[in-house]
Structure 1
Amino acid sequence: MPDRPDVPPELVDRLRGLLRFPECAEEDAWTGVRWRVRRATVAHVFGGEDQLFRVTFRADPQEVQAFEHLGGPYFRTGWGSNVVGVLLDARTDWDEMAELLTDSYCIQAPQVLADAVARPGPAG
């Protein structure tokens, strides 16, 4: 089995900056790094056997279907009905990533913690 690359520190730092939520803790995962609120995973970044980097997160089931329909850089994982992922590369929209990770946190966090987080609203 090919080795999975370590996630570059600058990529972990960038995600860490987006995941500053109440009780959201960073920890080493079986591969890569994950962020959890209490026992629930909010995001997990890891290197693939193809030497590319991905992050998985939680989304509403309808959004998971939309991401799956969009295709690359989004992908459906093989676990969990509300887990989706995105390939991280030079085209990554970091503003969108901030929104996706905020939504993921709010899905996973207890309501009292989620209520303390400012969520982007619709434009207009």
Structure 2
Amino acid sequence: MAKKERPPVPDAWVDRIDEILRGLPQVHCEPAWVGTRWRVQGATVAHVFGGEDQLFRVTFRGETDEVMAFQHLGAPYFRAEWGANVIGLVIDDDSDWAELAELLTDSYCLVAPDRLAAQVDRPA
């Protein structure tokens, strides 16, 4: 059986995520092994990619208790199979981009050096 191709993430979605993250100190965007990722000083803040199932996902970091909570919420959230603190979210046209902005900002604050994270207004 032939492996399905991974679809490219719509540019509009990459741009929306970039708009959320580019204002944070020292974040840069780069191509990943698949999709696009945003990093700060070598640590991945977020990664967006298309899957072989033709769905689009964004992964990001969360507190350990948040990872478990999101895992139990179920779709569109999931626990990534790598990293103890990685949360995944299936995104589509109906995604809550305001909520995603908060989650990505939290992710940044978890992986950025303290001096950089201290410069960010973190969501309540």
Which band: TM-score by shorter chain? over 0.9
Identical-pair percentage:
60
Tell me if 1:55 matches 2:58: yes
Tell me the residue number matched to 1:14: 16
How far 1:50 moved relative to its partner?
1.1
Tell me if 1:94 matches 2:121: no
Tell me if 1:3 matches 2:1: no
CA deviations on 1:68-88 (whole Å, 9 max, x unpaired) are 000000001111000010000
Tell me if 1:116 matches 2:105: no
Which deviates the most, 33-42 or 83-92? 83-92
CA deviations on 1:6-58 (whole Å, 9 max, x unpaired) are 11111100100111211100000000000000100000000000111110000
| SS of alignment partner, residue 5 of structure 1 | coil
Query: Where does structure 1 lack aligned partners over 5 or more consecutive residues?
Result: none
How far 1:108 moved relative to its partner?
0.5
Tell me the residue number matched to 1:104: 107
Work out the CA distance in 1 between the residues paired with 2:68 and 2:81.
Answer: 13
How far 1:90 moved relative to its partner?
2.3
Work out the CA distance in 2 between the residues paired with 1:69 and 1:2.
Answer: 29
Query: Where does structure 2 lack aligned partners over 5 or more consecutive residues?
Result: none
- Give the aligned residue type for 1:111: D
How far 1:91 moved relative to its partner?
2.2
Normalising by structure 2, we get a TM-score of 0.95
Paired residues, number: 121
- Among residues 72, 76, 81, which one is paired with 1:78 in the alignment? 81
RMSD: 0.7
- Give the aligned residue type for 1:76: R
Work out the CA distance in 1 between the residues paired with 2:122 and 2:78.
Answer: 24
How far 1:89 moved relative to its partner?
1.1
